[in-house]
A and B are shown apart, each in its own frame.
Chain A
Amino acid sequence: MTEKIVITGIGASSPLGGTARESWDALLRGESGAATLEHEWVAEYDLPVHFAAEAAVRPDTVLERPKAKRLDPSSQFAVVSAIEAWEDAGAPEVESERLGVDYATGIGGVWTLLDAWDTLRERGPRRVMPMTVPMLMPNAPSAAVSMHFEARAYARTVASACASSTESIVSAYEHLQAGLADVVIAGGSESAIHPITVASFSSMQALSRRNDDPATASRPYDVTRDGFVMGEGAAALVLEKESHARARGARIYAELAGGGITADSYHITAPEPEGLGASRAVHIALESAGADPSEVTHVNAHATSTPVGDVAEVRAMHRVFGERVNDIPVSATKAAHGHLLGGTGALEAVFTALAISERTAPPTINVTEQDPDAPLHISGTPIPLGDGQQLAISNSFGFGGHNAVIALRSV
């Protein structure tokens, strides 16, 4: 029998707060992290979308300056969230060769890349920083976390767009199950609220245009939803073999019971409309957890607030759960924190772990008229999950047809 993997630490730097606990508390209060962007570039480029959910705390105000200077913001967020998760886990004693890192990003160091391009054009090649490439590479967050903690078992970077950090958690689960590490810091990070990405997502009609009311713009399952809200930040989880955690008397939030990934092979941006790939990912996650769909008590949905994506996910859930899907407490937390792209799965995993450890499904804000094609059990206020065994899934889907699902069980 394979060994259980447990979650012993959580960390987050999100639009809702500078820590996991602050983010969770703001989420439960029904707050939104979205606001009008104050940057000059919004008007300079006449961007059609004027708002986003920027991180509540800039990471370069938390890290020492020399360290921050060598890291793209995406890596700064990664290190900040990992430090919090590690300390939350009680800084477990583990051999360097048995400590791994599985840290994702969807886009990577876009600010570093494009700032360097500006520098090259305006000031010439001599002024392009020697650290430019090591700062912009997509494995930079993973490498930064690995070096901070002297983690030498492995340091992997999953890049599967908005499924990235859920897939990182699946990867870490598999690595731990294979006996190749005792502890893994898994998570994901994104800092890509840049004129280029705002313009690109706007061009594909993916972003909400609710410029006059950013706080209510992300509204998964509402009939008037018109796109997602870009978010920013990172989250991390300390994953540990149960025997290792028990031996040191660690607090355990939940068991990471299983994970599944699939690919749609359908369209580069659109989800497969019947939810075939997404539902298979849920089935694989539940099978690896040794669980039946009937045991699921909570779903943290991907639900980005796009007209097409939200309903495709509902169809996928219907394939797995049948009519019971409408009775399971569902949380679409992007309504509050926006879409952190490569960091979003890890943040939602943190919230899912807290949901089942505190037996409270967080609210789905901003839904004033629920889409009849998405008749799920959602609420604008927290939903009590009860005293019994909890089994939750958290879904993430990414451009490219990537589907990643994790299953968490109460302990």
Chain B
Amino acid sequence: MAHTQDEVLAGLAELVKEETGIATESVQLDKSFTDDLDIDSISMMTIVVDAEEKFGVKIPDDQVQNLVTVKDAVDFIVGAQSE
């Protein structure tokens, strides 16, 4: 069953917290993973792979660089669910 945008955001925030310790409330749609949340490329890959498993989607490596903001990631996951 597909997750809503809010559910994906909440789930993604949990994964970010698990990997980096950043509080879930800091993970908001307009935040940049690198500039605002200070997440490095290694943590980003870990979060991506965790998100693939959590939401049952594939996020190709060449798409990861396009996931600049949290909204980019949430939108990609929501869209990928329907494919």
Contacts and interface: CB of A to CB of B under 8 A. Distances in A.
A126 B21 CA distance: 23
A127 interface: yes
Interface in A66-124: 66, 69
B64 to A, nearest CB: 11
A249 interface: no
Given A126-B49, A126-B52, A131 B42 contact: yes
- Among A64, A130, A131, the one with the most B-chain Cβ atoms within 10 Å of its Cβ is A130
B4 interface: no
B81 interface: no
SS class of chain A's interface: helix, strand, loop or mixed?
A: helix
B45 interface: yes
B32 interface: no
Given A126-B49, A126-B52, A127-B49, A69 B19 contact: yes
A89 to B, nearest CB: 28
B46 A131 contact: yes
Contacts of B45: 130
Contacts, number: 16
SS class of chain B's interface: helix, strand, loop or mixed?
A: helix
Contacts of B28: none
A267 interface: no
B21 to A, nearest CB: 4
A66 B20 contact: yes
Interface residues of A, number: 9
Nearest to A123: B53
A64 B19 CA distance: 11
Interface in A42-67: 64-66
Contacts of B21: 64-66
Contact of B42 (A64, A126, A130): A130
Contacts of A126: 49, 52
B43 to A, nearest CB: 8
A130 B39 CA distance: 14
A66 B18 CA distance: 7
A129 B46 CA distance: 7
Nearest to B17: A66
B46 to A, nearest CB: 6
Contacts of B53: 127
B40 to A, nearest CB: 10
A358 to B, nearest CB: 40
Contacts of B19: 66, 69
A126 B42 CA distance: 13
Contacts of A69: 19
A131 to B, nearest CB: 6
Contacts of B20: 66
A66 B53 CA distance: 20
- Kindly list the 4 A-B residue pairs having the minimum CB-CB distance in the complex, ordered from nearest: A66-B21, A130-B45, A130-B42, A66-B20
16 contacts: A64-B21, A65-B21, A66-B19, A66-B20, A66-B21, A69-B19, A126-B49, A126-B52, A127-B49, A127-B53, A129-B46, A130-B42, A130-B45, A130-B46, A131-B42, A131-B46
Given A66-B19, A127-B49, A130-B46, 13 more contacts: A64-B21, A65-B21, A66-B20, A66-B21, A69-B19, A126-B49, A126-B52, A127-B53, A129-B46, A130-B42, A130-B45, A131-B42, A131-B46
